[in-house]
């Protein structure tokens, strides 16, 4: 992602540069690390897991990351406006929300 910003002063430029440097230094997302800890170490994966987010971009990124981390597992992304996806064996395909819901609900 690229942003076009116009800094008005040397102080603003310095603050923005520190922010950019800090963001570039972050190698792991702490939220993803916590989710992976619960899935792996706490063995929640065997129970089935649903992760909610208010923002599509967040849950899409989380789904992509979890699908890569848990490549032998099926990961579903339940979203509106035809954005639901099913991740399986390294592939990702669109899926209807109702079909995804039926896959998750256990009797």
Cα 42 to Cα 32, 37, 55, 64, 84, distances in angstroms: 14, 7, 26, 21, 27
pLDDT given for residue 54 in this prediction: 87
Q: What is the pTM of this model?
A: 0.69
pLDDT given for residue 3 in this prediction: 66
Per-residue pLDDT of 33-89, as tens digits, reads 999 999 999 988 887 777 778 899 989 999 999 999 888 888 889 888 889 999 988
pLDDT given for residue 2 in this prediction: 66
Cβ distance 87 to 63 under 8 Å?
Answer: yes
Q: How many residues does the chain have?
A: 107
- CA 35 to chain centroid, in Å, comes to 10
Cα 34 to Cα 23, 74, 90, distances in angstroms: 19, 19, 23
More confident position, 80 or 1 = 80
Query: Has residue 101 got a pLDDT over 90?
Result: no
């Amino acid at each position: 992602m690229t942003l076009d910003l116009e800094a008005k002063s040397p102080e603003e430029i310095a603050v923005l540069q520190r922010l950019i440097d800090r963001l570039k230094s972050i190698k792991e997302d702490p939220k993803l690390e916590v989710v992976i800890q619960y899935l792996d170490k706490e063995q929640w994966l065997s129970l089935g897991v649903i992760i909610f987010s208010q923002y599509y971009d967040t849950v899409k990124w989380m789904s992509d990351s979890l699908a890569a981390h848990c490549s032998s597992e099926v990961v579903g992304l339940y979203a509106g406006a035809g954005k639901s996806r099913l991740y399986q064996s390294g592939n990702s395909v669109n899926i209807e929300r109702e079909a995804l819901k039926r896959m998750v609900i256990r009797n």
